[in-house]
Amino acid sequence: MTIPVLPAPTGAHPVGTTSVYLEDVSRRDPWVADASTRELMISVWYPAAWLSGPRARYLTQAESAEVLAGQQVAVGSDVLSSVRTHALLDAPLDSGLRELPLIVLSPGFTRPRATLTSIGEDLASHGYVAVAVDHTYETAATTFPDGRVAAFALGRGFPRTPEFWHKVKTGRARDVSFVLDQLLGSNPPWAGAAALAPDRIGMAGHSAGGAATIAAMLADERIRAGSDVDGSTDPLIPDTGLYRPFLFLGRDGQYSPGDGPAADTWARDWPLLTGWKRWLVVAGAKHQSFTDLGLLADQLGMPLGAATSGLRTMAITRTYLRAFFGQHLCDAPRTLFDRLGADHPEVRSCVPA
Rounded CA gap, 282 and 347, in Å? 5
Q: Which of 32-46, 62-76, 269-283 has the lowest mean pLDDT?
A: 62-76
Cβ-based neighbour number of residue 88 at 10 Å: 21
pLDDT at 353 over 60: no
What's the whole-number average pLDDT of the chain? 94
Residue 70 pLDDT class (50, 70, 90 cuts): low
Domains contained in the chain, number: 1
Q: What is the mean pLDDT of residues 153-177?
A: 95
Domain extent for 285: 15-349
Residue 167 corresponds to which amino acid? K
Q: What is the CATH number of the domain that holds 99?
A: 3.40.50.1820
Q: What is the value of pTM for the model shown?
A: 0.96
Is the Cα torsion angle 318, 321, 326, 332 positive or negative in sign? Answer: positive
- Quote the pLDDT of residue 346: 94
Nearest CA to 237 among 273, 197, 281? 273
- Quote the pLDDT of residue 131: 98
Nearest CA to 306 among 277, 346, 267, 341? 346
Within-domain flag for 62? yes
Within-domain flag for 269? yes
Is the Cα torsion angle 323, 327, 328, 329 positive or negative in sign? Answer: positive
Is the Cα torsion angle 254, 134, 127, 332 positive or negative in sign? Answer: positive
Q: List pLDDT tens digits, range 210-243.
A: 999 999 999 999 999 999 999 999 999 999 999 9
Within-domain flag for 9? no
Within-domain flag for 341? yes
Within-domain flag for 7? no
Within-domain flag for 6? no
